[in-house]
Amino acid sequence: MKTVAFLGLGHMGLPMAANLVKAGYAVRGYDLADACRAAAKEAGVPVASDSAEAIEAAEVIITMLPKGEHVVSVYGDLVRKIPAGTLLIDCSTVDMESALKAHELAASAACSSVDAPVSGGTGGAAAGTLTFMCGGEAAAFSAAKPVLEAMGKKIVHCGKGGNGQAAKICNNMILGISMIAVSEAFVLGEKLGLSHQALFDVAATSSGQCWSLTTYCPVPGPVPTSPANKDYQPGFAAALMLKDLKLSQEAANGAGASTPLGAAAAALYENFVDAGSGGRDFSAIVEMLRGGDA
């Protein structure tokens, strides 16, 4: 039974750690926030008194942190304390530069590493159905895969270190653009006297079909499980979508790629978040579009 340290027990990290416990791993979690540590204890996740205790004798260390700077800082501390051969898995969504720096730090301590950002939101984290997009050497991916399978149902090796983040950034750029497109279609349909259900029934079985429509429909009714039926409680918060879209634009600028729709989506979500809606589900942008404030 592998010993796993889990650093970062927030909305995503806690249910992921809980699923590792259910799968039989010896887990020790830690988070800087008192509330997160308390919630972890209630969920049956053993909590260390500090990060040093969490990583003691850990064969695998998983991080789920808010920003790239946090990942680099934690890795910089880890590599001074952990033995060679420890497997480091970062499940955060961060910028490419930070992801590559984390791999460099791991290598400096003779540790294998995988960047493994996730898709599936808090629901997928709780259900253990996340998709993991993984970057790293083949041997590191093979070692990480059984651990990740305890938390997700689709584990994809995307190639070299950093490629997991690249896949996540590209995927979420598609998601942000498609949610705006679906929302605009429903707003237009409303103006034309088309019911939400009629538009859904047509588009869901026609060329307009996409995940943002059929799984996460931004208007109440057609998809009962979508956040639109719960006053747009996340889900996936608009502030996080904006973070990912900004990462896509940083990556595009660095790579010299033209992403005009990605840039437009980032600008729209920035307006939405600046208007005070960062804590709402990202599908709530339909309300801003309906109001003509875009």
145, 168, 191, 243: which is the annotated catalytic residue?
168
For 125, counting Cβ atoms within 10 Å of its Cβ (0-12 exposed, 13-18 middle, 19+ buried), the class is buried
CB neighbours of 97 closer than 8 A, spacing ≥ 6?
68
Beta strands in 77-151 (DSSP E): 87-90, 112-115, 118-119, 130-135
- What span, in angstroms and rounded, lies between the C-alpha atoms of 220 and 100? 41
Strands 26-30 and 60-63 come out as unpaired
- What span, in angstroms and rounded, lies between the C-alpha atoms of 81 and 212? 44
Catalytic-residue membership of 168: yes
DSSP designation for 257: -
3-state secondary structure of 43: coil
Say if residues 37 and 9 touch (Cβ distance below 8 Å): yes
The residues annotated with a catalytic role in the active site are: 168
